[in-house]
Structure 1
Amino acid sequence: MNTEILSRIQFAFTIAFHYIYPPLSIGLGVVLVIMEGMYLRTGKQIYEQMTRFWIKIFALIFGIGVATGIVMEFEFGTNWAVYSRYVGDIFGSALAAEGIFAFALESGFLGILLFGWNRVSPRVHFFSTIMVALGSMFSAIWIVVANSWQQTPAGYRIEGEGMKARAVITDFWEMVFNPSSVDRLSHVIIGSFLAGSFLVLSVNAYYILRKRHLEIAKAGFKIALTVATVASLMQLFTGHRSADGVAKHQPAKLAAFEGHYDSSAVADMYLMGWTNADKREITGLKIPGGLSFLLHQDFTTPVKGLDAFPKEDRPSSRAVNVVFQTYHLMVAIGMALIGLSVLAVFLWWKGKLFEQKWLLQIFAWSVLLPQIANQVGWYSAEIGRQPWVVYGLLRTSDALSQSLKTEQVLFSLIMFTLVYTLLFVLFLYLLNKKIKHGPVDTHSEAIPDSSKRDNPILN
């Protein structure tokens, strides 16, 4: 493998590993706000107890997320120096905004969230929970804004020529609200709600199946199910809006999503399939003209295909099948989450939810589904825009550091793999330990008096 491919693999690996944690913290932050809000409204100790428990999980996720996120910022300079120079003014301003408006807010109030149970009033503690949840969302806002600018550049001008060219902001708010930022941000945030809520659903389903902490587990399950149902239905809307934006601003990517080559033909919508780049065809299950209908509300309107773009300006033949598979896997999981959530709500309404062991077993493993969907959705978005790192302006091959050597990237990739594997094992070990301990002290299933609060992170 050459230096470019190895650098791309390294960055994909590090960001994919990091991307496990921010969606969990965003989604879990929202669930924590609801849980603690229920405690303040009802005064029931089960809500306090579940809030204390999930704060411990949140702290673990937050810590690993911070540690794994720092590495990527160094990679911009070590592996992608030309890219850093080209988008430094734009990407740098977004990262600065994240640090000032998001990370400082989240980390500052996190101290009160973790250590403030005995030191501040319940309302102040609840306020800190809200601020932590908002801070995690603000962090996502600025990262998505920076990435969306790469997809649909706006509010800039190019200064210099050749390898010295760089993008300079001419309108900050036009850069922030570039054509894809709002749609992509809503899609990412809702996906994060799903990741966090299904983590809570998974753990509580495990407790219910094991007949442990039943009162707390059932109440927590219902809270998470409400968030998951609303989020899964909203994701259907945000996904459609995002696809419409891709069709308008990145038509080559949309064509790769569906493996559509012929610009003179209507575009089918595939439920599953396999692309053959040599024959420019797909074998699979499809809705004839389905994509044409979604885009134009007409089953007979042609859609621009990959043949409308020069080969050097569109995803490679091999990449098209990767994009096709990852995109359709994301959609399939999204529909499965809707079906699972709606079914559970129906059984809840019937009063039979917790009698269905088979469904609870599915929920116990369902934590994997939003994570997979988030990962493959990111893969399809990033691979689908190739060969551009900044769409239509800077090619990925031109963004690489010129002095970088293949053996250097290979060595760092091996080391990152080892370190991140150890971090992941540690994360799973600590998470499993906290889940097995549960929201109630192991010496007693009774809920302790709220006046005897201890530090939630030290339990």
Structure 2
Amino acid sequence: MDPTDIARWQFAIITVYHFLFVPITIGLSAMIAGYETAWIRTGNEHWLRLTKFFGKLFLINFALGVVTGIVQEFQFGMNWSDYSRFVGDIFGAPLAVEGLLAFFLESTFLGLWIFGWDRLPAKAHAACMWLVHLGTLFSAYFILAANSWMQHPVGYRFNPETGRAEMNDFAAVLFNKVQLVTFPHVVLSAYMTGAAFVVGIAFWHLRKASRASKAQDVKLYTRAVRTGAAVLLVAGLGVAASGDVQGKIMTEVQPMKMAAAEGLYDTETSADFSLLTIGSLDGSEEKFAITIPGLLSWLGTGSTDGTVAGINQLREQYQDTYGQDPGEKYYSPGDYTPIIPLTYWTFRIMIGLGLLAAAIAGWILLATRRGRVPQGRLILWSAIALPFLPLFANSFGWIFTEMGRQPWAVFGLMTTAQSVSPGVSTFEAATSLIVLTLIYTVLGVVEVRLLMTYIRRGADEIEPPDESEPGADKPLAFAY
């Protein structure tokens, strides 16, 4: 393996690992803020117990997310220096705003939320978590603006003297049409993930409380299960709607990605959607397919009679536009085709897991009506598996998004092979890959151990304040 291979693996491992924490952070912060607001409005102690319980789990996840996110920045300097030099003038502004505004908003008000119990007025304390959630949304927006520029470069000019892309329209970068459809899709999928996290944990405790005949805990966890399932289901509908719009924009700006996602080799009018396609080993043609008539045209163009470009025709078009050799060793000269089986299956796994998560949420809502506690083993294991479904759907979605753009790092401007650091040796790249993978493995063990410890404990009972220690900060005290 050469440095490019290793740099790709390192980027994939670090990015996918980091994004396991991001959607939970976004979604769970909204759930916690909602629970605390419900407590203030109703005075029901159950909402306060849920706030504190999931607040502890949120803090564990947030801390690991921050640690793994910092490495993201370092790896650009280590393995992708040519890429960093090329896009630095574009990415500098949105990422600086993300760091100075969004991250500081999150960290400042999260600190106030942690240490403000019994010190801040209840409404001000709840507002802190809403501001933390707002910070996560700002952070997502500015980071996605940078990524959307990679998918569809706008608001720039190329400087031939420096060999860099230079921003000339900040608003165009921030309001890129890819960004405007990507942001709601990502945030809604994060709501699905956070809600699924709540449902899976609460359902397990609900069953325990039911068998132990703890009536108050049954009510408590029923509330968590039903609110989480409702949020998941509604967010799932939003993900489907935003994904439909995103697919049409993707067909417009990156037609090869859509063609690869569908295994569509030749341009078709009224193109069918492939449920299963088997192609030749070299990915050059279709051998067998199970399809839904006209659905692909509707997904890509909004009309069942729309025309969707095929892989073979787009390859020829890209050769005419960008030249015969993209400088990418993974593809034959002038191919410009992503790895079709990878894009095809990640696209379907993403959709399938999302639909399954929404279906399970709907099932749980029906099964828990009127205070019922379903006892079947199937629904229990479905609920326990539920947090992993949107979580992995997010990961497969990002793998599809980034791999479907290949061989481009910045679409139409810079290939991935041209982006790698020229001065990094195979040994240096391999060393950083091994070290970071081992560190992330250790962090993963710590994360799981901490989460499982506090999940097993469940929601603590609310203790009356200790008058001898006014303002004592007890609600989020950790003991390990």
- The verdict on a shared fold, with TM-score over 0.5 as the criterion, is yes
Q: Which amino acid aligns with 1:27?
A: G
User: How far apart in 2 are the matches of 1:423 and 1:315?
Assistant: 40
Match of 1:307 among 294, 312, 334: 312
User: How far apart in 1 are the matches of 2:106 and 2:338?
Assistant: 41
* Higher deviation after alignment, 129-138 or 269-278: 269-278
Size of the alignment, in residue pairs? Answer: 452
Alignment of 1:111-126 (within 5 A): 111-126=111-126
Alignment of 1:181-330 (within 5 A): 181-211=179-209, 213-264=217-268, 266-276=270-280, 277-278=282-283, 280-281=285-286, 283-310=288-315, 319-330=339-350
Deviations 1:145-171 (A, max 9, x none): 10001101111111125xx41111111
Q: TM-score, normalised by structure 1?
A: 0.93
- Who is 1:96 aligned against? 96
Deviations 1:349-393 (A, max 9, x none): 465464555323311111110111000000001000011111101
Specify the SS of the correspondent of 2:422.
coil
Matched, 1:133 2:133: yes
Contact 1:267 1:292 in 2 (8 A): yes
Specify the SS of the correspondent of 1:52.
helix
Matched, 1:346 2:366: yes
Specify the SS of the correspondent of 1:458.
coil
Alignment of 1:69-108 (within 5 A): 69-108=69-108
Specify the SS of the correspondent of 1:430.
helix
* Higher deviation after alignment, 268-277 or 19-28: 268-277
User: How far apart in 2 are the matches of 1:182 and 1:167?
Assistant: 22
- Who is 1:443 aligned against? none
Q: Give the share of equivalent positions with the same residue, in percent.
A: 33
Q: Report the CA distance between 1:345 and its aligned residue.
A: 2.8
Specify the SS of the correspondent of 2:176.
coil
Contact 1:115 1:455 in 2 (8 A): no
Deviations 1:99-134 (A, max 9, x none): 111000000001111111121111111010111111
Where in structure 2 are there 5+ consecutive unaligned residues?
320-324, 327-333, 468-472
Aligned-residue RMSD, C-alpha: 2.0
User: How far apart in 2 are the matches of 1:87 and 1:309?
Assistant: 26
Instruction: Identify if the C-alpha distance between structure 1 residues 232 and 96 changes in structure 2 by more than 3 Å, giving closer, same or farther.
Output: same
Deviations 1:311-334 (A, max 9, x none): 756876671110000001111112
Matched, 1:449 2:449: no
Q: Which amino acid aligns with 1:236?
A: A
Instruction: Identify if the C-alpha distance between structure 1 residues 264 and 56 changes in structure 2 by more than 3 Å, giving closer, same or farther.
Output: closer
Deviations 1:243-274 (A, max 9, x none): 01100110011101101110146422122344
Q: Report the CA distance between 1:304 and its aligned residue.
A: 0.4
Contact 1:201 1:363 in 2 (8 A): yes
Q: TM-score, normalised by structure 2?
A: 0.90
Q: Runs of at least 4 residues of structure 1 off by over 6 A?
A: 313-318
User: How far apart in 1 are the matches of 2:312 and 2:270?
Assistant: 14
Q: Report the CA distance between 1:294 and its aligned residue.
A: 2.8
- Who is 1:362 aligned against? 382
Specify the SS of the correspondent of 2:307.
coil
Specify the SS of the correspondent of 2:271.
coil
User: How far apart in 1 are the matches of 2:220 and 2:466?
Assistant: 19
Alignment of 1:370-381 (within 5 A): 370-381=390-401
Contact 2:94 2:145 in 1 (8 A): yes
- Who is 1:23 aligned against? 23
Q: Report the CA distance between 1:72 and its aligned residue.
A: 1.1
Q: Which amino acid aligns with 1:240?
A: D
Q: Which amino acid aligns with 1:138?
A: F
Deviations 1:79-111 (A, max 9, x none): 111111111011121110111110000000011
User: How far apart in 2 are the matches of 1:451 and 1:285?
Assistant: 67
Instruction: Identify if the C-alpha distance between structure 1 residues 315 and 329 changes in structure 2 by more than 3 Å, giving closer, same or farther.
Output: farther
Where in structure 1 are there 5+ consecutive unaligned residues?
441-445
User: How far apart in 1 are the matches of 2:358 and 2:207?
Assistant: 22
